[in-house]
Structure 1
Amino acid sequence: MTRVFFDTEFTELGIDPRLISIGLVSEDGRREFYAELADTYQPKDCGDFAREAVLPLLQGDAVCLTWAELGRRLGAWLEAFGEPVKLTTDSMAWDWPWIQEVFGDLDTWPANVDGKPEILGQSAEFCQAVEDAFAAGLRRHHALDDAKANRIGWLASRGNVPSV
């Protein structure tokens, strides 16, 4: 089974958050998926935090997808692993619901993806490696970079610290 680390960024922590971006990276670090949503929100929908910390990091253009395109492309990307995938996150409450919503129902869920995520532990080694990854240049609150930092933290918690 391959772990795929993922993170999301969204408009707010309130009642009606909307997905801004999603990033995923494979356990071996060789495969990445990153998308920004073109049809789920407007900047005026964002809370102060998202406007200040998330929106300035957006790349635009080639990575912008509609909600429907995201579901198709992300599903195809995950299925291309050709083996079982375990999605791994540091936030069950905030990130996992977006995965469930992207695929909508069981008919669109990629067949090789486990329906229960792995939740990352927050050991001292994990936290230090995540902070070191951001200090080395990963951008905090960019969905793909956050996923990469979580991968690095997970590896460090197992005694293996890769370079950024």
Structure 2
Amino acid sequence: MSKVSSSIPLMRVFFDTEFTELGIDPRLISIGLVAEDGERTFYAELSDTYEDRQCSDFVRKAVLPHLEGGVARIPMNRLTLRLGKWLESLDAPVKLVTDSLSWDWPWIQEIFQQEETWPANVDGKPEILDRSPAFDLAVEKAFTTGLRRHHSLDDAKANRLAWLATQP
């Protein structure tokens, strides 16, 4: 993993994932990322990592209905290539930002697990969002704007908006 250091300003990229269960053998369903500027986004759904029957009841009710299908559905090996190229296209040192080190960060590690696939501009340590009451309130407010809860890209966007709202 890369340890990014540069005089170019760091860019935060907020990300979220959806997966089959909170159990011992979860499988990645989707990933969404939004750059700090809010203009650049990435979204993908996995076509080869899970089957609907492997999903918990909660995931079948709250996550699967939000999946977009079509061009968003790609196999894991293509996700590794596309996401790596997207991150490198940001032309800045990137700090990935998550609200869940335990559940979301391992998927980034899995996506880029093969040697030489970690994007050179991405720091190997994530930034963890401070889930304060003010942050959680700002996340809830973000969902009132039409974002879909439990859609990985919209969850990443909500976290970005909450982070912006709670900055000093």
Normalising by structure 2, report the TM-score.
0.92
Partner residue in 1 for 2:64:
55
| Pick aligned residue for 2:147 from 138, 149, 159 | 138
Partner residue in 1 for 2:55:
46
| Pick aligned residue for 1:153 from 151, 162, 165 | 162
| Pick aligned residue for 1:89 from 80, 89, 98 | 98
In the alignment, residue 16 of structure 2 is paired with which amino acid?
D
Alignment of 1:78-117 (within 5 A): 78-117=87-126
Deviation at 1:114, TM superposition (A): 0.2
**Distance between the aligned counterparts of 2:30 and 2:123, measured in 1?**
22
**Distance between the aligned counterparts of 1:46 and 1:113, measured in 2?**
31
Partner residue in 2 for 1:68:
77
Structure 1: runs of 5 or more not aligned: 160-164
**Is the 8 Å Cα contact of residues 123 and 157 (structure 1) preserved in structure 2?**
no
How many pairs are equivalent? 159
**Distance between the aligned counterparts of 2:71 and 2:117, measured in 1?**
24
Deviation at 1:106, TM superposition (A): 4.8
Deviating beyond 2 angstroms after TM superposition, the runs of 4 or more aligned structure 1 residues are: none
Q: Which has the higher contact order (CA 8 A, sep 6+)?
A: 2
Give identity over the alignment, percent.
66
Deviation at 1:87, TM superposition (A): 0.0
Structure 2: runs of 5 or more not aligned: 1-9
RMSD of the TM alignment (CA)?
0.9
**Distance between the aligned counterparts of 1:107 and 1:60, measured in 2?**
29
